[in-house]
Amino acid sequence: MLYHFYIQSKKLSSVLRSVKTLAKPAGARGYSSESVPDRKVAVLGAAGGIGQPLALLMKLNPLVSRLALYDIANTPGVAADVGHINTRSEVAGYMGNDQLGQALEDSDVVIIPAGVPRKPGMTRDDLFNINAGIVKDLCSAIAKYCPNAIVNMISNPVNSTVPIAAEVFKKAGTYNEKKLFGVTTLDVVRAKTFYAGKANVNVPVVGGHAGITILPLFSQATPKANLADEDIKALTKRTQDGGTEVVESTVTELPFFASKVRLGKNGVEEVLGLGPLSDFEQEGLEKLKPELKASIEKGVKFANA
């Protein structure tokens, strides 16, 4: 799954693991290059710490045929570098606002890691003042140049940048709740790693992507490890502090809530429910709602100001 790869891209070891898998010839993984349709992916913020390894992973993905790398600076070099990799997709670099439209035109998928990252001591919400404006402008351009694209928001604070994107698209008349995602897969990756080390385990993580709004559901882990309540509490805290898909849903009364979804080529096909929660998780769910609600409202207010 797309999201899995790029969110893992922060860790070099994960990048190398993914590269190993993806570097197999397309046919070896069940794709025949002739039968793969044309698919354009645009990365906005492509020259950054997340954008560059993400561009590499997209270049290695046999499902991508055109890769547009956009940033306000340094994209010609990044595009030349990534373009030397001998895989299917054609790579083009775009730099500065004048070239944003070209970068976005005809895109099927847009991934946004543009904006500033946290420094030690900052919360994700501390990034709001700078990143909200960046995301708003980029989403206005998406509505204009590729209104049908699937949009994946990485820029923080995700709990607010996703609602900002939704408001911009609603105003432009292009909003499709099935095609807007907040990228929170890193929370799932962390929950799995902390729960069971290297073992192959599934752990759903729901809510948002900041602090207590991240709620790992260890009671639904498969296979299950028999851990004491105190250990589950500690693992929950570690996952929340360590750094799924945020979609508009009816899983809770909140308009945006990370939950398990079934994906298809047109975006979300089904939003899956929360499933049975332990008392500890139910308590966590009630605690996260006010904070996530406030972050959503902050984004909506900004976009409509």
Ligand X SMILES: O=C([O-])CC(=O)C(=O)O
Binding mask 183-222 for ligand X (x = CB under 6 A): ---x------------------------------------
Q: Is 209 or 260 the residue whose CB approaches ligand X more closely?
A: 209
Q: Nearest distance from residue 71's CB to ligand NAI, in Å?
A: 5
| Stretch of residues binding ligand X (CB under 6 A), selected from 116-124, 144-152, 219-227, 262-270 | 116-124
4 among known catalytic residues: no
Q: What part of residues 65-94 is at the interface with ligand NAI (CB under 6 A)? A: 71-73
Q: Is 66 or 118 the residue whose CB approaches ligand X more closely?
A: 118
Q: What part of residues 231-250 is at the interface with ligand X (CB under 6 A)? A: 243
* 25 interacts with, out of ligand X, ligand NAI, none, CB within 5 to 8 A per kind: none
Q: Does 58 contact ligand NAI by CB under 6 A?
A: no
Which of 158, 210, 215, 271: binder of ligand NAI (CB under 6 A)? 158
Q: Does 214 contact ligand NAI by CB under 6 A?
A: no
Report in angstroms the alpha-carbon separations of 203 from 158, 191, 192, 226, 227.
21, 7, 6, 14, 14
Q: Does 141 contact ligand NAI by CB under 6 A?
A: no
Catalytic residue among 192, 209, 260, 298: 209
Q: Does 49 contact ligand NAI by CB under 6 A?
A: yes
Q: Does 117 contact ligand NAI by CB under 6 A?
A: yes
Q: Which residues of the shown chain bind ligand NAI in the complex (CB under 6 A)?
A: 7, 10, 44-45, 47-51, 71-73, 113-118, 127, 131, 134, 138, 154-156, 158, 183, 186, 209, 243
Residues carrying an active site annotation: 209
